Structure 1
């Protein structure tokens, strides 16, 4: 399982390399809530596409290597793993002048837009970390058959923020 100390080590290495990243997925929800609420198998990170070479170099210094065969793969995302089996799910973002960002989904021009308000901060083990916002996390948990961990994550957001964070198809 991906531990909180490993998350912080990865974030610090990327910060030292001058890379801006934001935590998504389950760790992003735990950052918003301010505590670890469940075990995590990976760490989802969104990063500035132009900083990708520096990010990859910093992660390689920690022992991570790019894993082939991620579905879907580039340009939308790619996976790096360390010898201990910790996986990073990396999502390159192209920031726009207004502060929003695009994630290319395919080579045919498909893209997902992150609004300016999608980027926030949270806390892991008492350390302030960049993450996706409450609204963005709730948005990403819609329109598909939820897994048990998705329902868990939405329930934690609902408890922490007193908002309706229910799954909708």
Structure 2
């Protein structure tokens, strides 16, 4: 998934009038304002009540569902191998949100302050905060990509992550 691909997907979501936020590796690179590694996919958070609009827009440009782990997440893929990992969020009146998890008693919490902006190239993009990125990278054995991403957050923001002694 290239930077141009990400910006095209974001433009598609704007045309569909659906707010989305970038998470995962592209979200971290957006916070950093530079691409630090290649990305196999794009993680997008979207309002659960707009899921039909998201799917319809992505279907219109050739993405089809390839994995269904609803209500936690689902994946759409294009024939050329590009993938988008979609995470449905249920928003509260205060701007915070919840995402279902595999443990129904412990949903993922998104404070209103975690919805920030970053940069991909010269374009401002909606993404998740560094603190929210760290929150999602806990509780499992990190991959090499995860270690790389967390090292970038430590370097840029001086925050504690797994793999750090802070």
User: Under a length normalisation based on structure 1, what TM-score does the superposition of the two structures give?
Assistant: 0.90
Matched residues in 2 for 1:40 and 1:134: separation?
A: 18
Structure-1 residue corresponding to 2:138: 142
Give 1:121 shift. 0.8
Residues 21-100 of structure 1 aligned to structure 2 (within 5 Å): 21-68=20-67, 70=68, 73-100=69-96
The one-character-per-residue Cα deviations of 1:64-122 (angstroms, maximum 9, x if unpaired) are: 01114x4xx01111100011110000011010011110112359565222111221110
What is the SS of the residue equivalent to 1:130? strand
Q: Secondary structure at the match of 1:90?
A: strand
2:127 maps to 131
Q: Is the Cα–Cα contact under 8 Å of residues 76 and 105 in structure 1 kept in the other structure?
A: yes
Tell me, yes or no, if the aligned pair for 1:64 and 1:83 is still in contact at 8 Å. yes
TM-score, structure 2 as length reference = 0.92
Structure 1 stretches of 4+ with a deviation exceeding 6 A read none
Q: Residue in 2 aligned with 1:118?
A: 114
* Two-structure CA RMSD over aligned residues (Å): 1.7
Unaligned stretches of 5+ residues in structure 1: none
Q: How many residues align?
A: 164
- Displacement of 1:144 after TM fit? 1.8
Where do 5+ consecutive residues of structure 2 fail to align?
none
